[in-house]
Amino acid sequence: MYFSLALILASLPFLTAAVPLSESPASRGIAIPITKRGNSFNGVPDTSKLQSGIRRSVSKIQRGFTAYERNTGVAHPLSRSIKHVGRDSGSDPLTDDNALRWYGTISVGTPAVSFTVDFDTGSSDLFLPSSKCGSSCSGHKAYDPNASSTAHDLYTTFSLAYGDGSTATGEQFTDVVSIAGLTAKSQTLGAATQYSSGFSIDNLPADGLMGMAFQSISGYKAPPLFQTLISEGVVTTQVFGFKFATSGSELFLGGTNSALYTGDFTWLSLTLEGYWQASFDSISVDGTSVVESTAAIFDSGTTQIVGDPVGIANIFKQISGARAAPQYGDGTYTIPCSFDTPISIDVGGKTVSISPASFSLGPVSQNSSTCIAGAAADKTLTGDFWILGDVFLQNVYTAWDVGGSRIGFATLA
């Protein structure tokens, strides 16, 4: 069974203004500035949106496990680590989808037409609204394969079911796709003929989505764009780098931007090329290790650090003034806004400190001294893996080494 593709979009980062900073040769890499779009109003986080983001992140991961099994014929080793429990009625409204996002621009077809897309390290497929999509796609720019001399119809549909029973359907094509001046001649993409409400323009400011994980979790069984750029010889260094921050964020394609980090990378080998999945060593709070070595999925499309209820409770036990706050969503915790307890995650022997500013998502209401915490529990998780989202990724420069099947961490400059 499929899980919600809307869930994929729920917590996807967006990139803005994919304008190349330089016109350096692809072999030296191309930088794209990215900007965070918050889910807060006057600095107050929208807890219902955060909550639906947690559920959707887990469901997205679950959907990828299903695709993995379909594509490879074997069950994903972590697929038994999600318990099947009833949906939280009311806590997962698909229309209430405005989590932290980053967005950017790609161009598709001949002549090239530009579109905005999410860049998500937690999925692998590219899709846009089709010119055949009716009102469900209104407000988004549509891709018209008939207007592109390089479009090829694969005569293959895609159909993804949503958690609420609605579906997104469409047709697969290959076409020329460019990002920041790097051009893939033949990239598989979906032209959606129907978008669910989770993709409506109010909920999804970008036109579509671009996954940056591996082919084994692709719903199309096709290479993601970066892998196509590699196989077509457009990028020679098979790495992309991300800096996620309140300002100065950047995606770098074809290497890493050495101006944005200091020292060497610490590398974690991926346990499997599906998600960006590797094991961290421990999570420590105030010098005490509270979570031992566990598999993690590094997901730019998830806002928080998401773990199982027991592991998450162990983190908050060590934080003075922290409280379970189910009134803001199942699995949510609050912390005093003045919180400054040291929290760190050890990855491959490197200690990444989670800054208090990144761990606090903002006050529960205007002028409140109680803040929403950057880690939350999902009751379907058994503790066999965690999702390390933006709250972790903002604290370290990351190198996503597709060719080397590893993820690297370096200290932000």
Ligand X SMILES: *[C@@H]1O[C@H](CO)[C@@H](O)[C@H](O)[C@H]1NC(C)=O
Contacts for 223 with CB less than 8 Å, ≥ 6 apart: 188, 215, 231
Residue count of the chain, please give it.
413
Piece of 101-109, 143-151, 267-275, 333-341 that binds ligand X (CB under 6 A): 143-151
Q: Of residues 104, 145, 309, 362, which one binds ligand X by CB under 6 A? A: 145
Q: Which is nearer to ligand X, 125 or 171 (CB)?
A: 171
Structure token digits, residue 306: 């998401």
Active site residue 378: no
Name the 3-class secondary structure at 122.
Answer: coil
Contact flag: residue 132 with ligand X (CB under 6 A): yes
Q: Which is nearer to ligand X, 112 or 324 (CB)?
A: 112
CA separation for the pair 187, 154 (Å, rounded): 11
Q: Are the CB atoms for 283 and 290 separated by under 8 Å?
A: yes
Structure token digits, residue 376: 């939350």
Piece of 129-137, 162-170, 179-187, 405-413 that binds ligand X (CB under 6 A): 129-137
CA separation for the pair 221, 239 (Å, rounded): 21
Q: Of residues 269, 366, 369, 413, which one binds ligand X by CB under 6 A? A: 366
Structure token digits, residue 71: 């594509």
Q: Which is nearer to ligand X, 24 or 366 (CB)?
A: 366
Contact flag: residue 129 with ligand X (CB under 6 A): no
Q: Which is nearer to ligand X, 89 or 367 (CB)?
A: 367
List of E strands, 97-139:
101-108, 113-120, 126-129
Shortest Å distance, C-beta 181 to ligand X: 27
Q: Which is nearer to ligand X, 151 or 283 (CB)?
A: 151
**Residue 14 burial (CB count, 10 A):** 25
Shortest Å distance, C-beta 196 to ligand X: 19
- The site that binds ligand X (CB under 6 A) totals a number of residues, namely 8
Active site residue 118: no
CA separation for the pair 52, 98 (Å, rounded): 9
Q: Which is nearer to ligand X, 145 or 198 (CB)?
A: 145
Q: Of residues 40, 72, 131, 370, which one binds ligand X by CB under 6 A? A: 131
- CA 388 to each of CA 304, 349, 402: distance values in angstroms, whole numbers, following the listed order: 7, 17, 19
Contact flag: residue 363 with ligand X (CB under 6 A): no
Piece of 108-116, 125-133, 269-277, 301-309 that binds ligand X (CB under 6 A): 125-133
Q: Of residues 51, 71, 98, 130, which one binds ligand X by CB under 6 A? A: 130
Shortest Å distance, C-beta 218 to ligand X: 22
Burial zone of 44 (CB within 10 Å; 0-12 exposed, 13-18 middle, 19+ buried):
middle
Q: Are the CB atoms for 159 and 56 separated by under 8 Å?
A: no
So which residues are the catalytic ones? 120, 299
Binding site for ligand X (CB under 6 A): 130-132, 144-146, 366-367
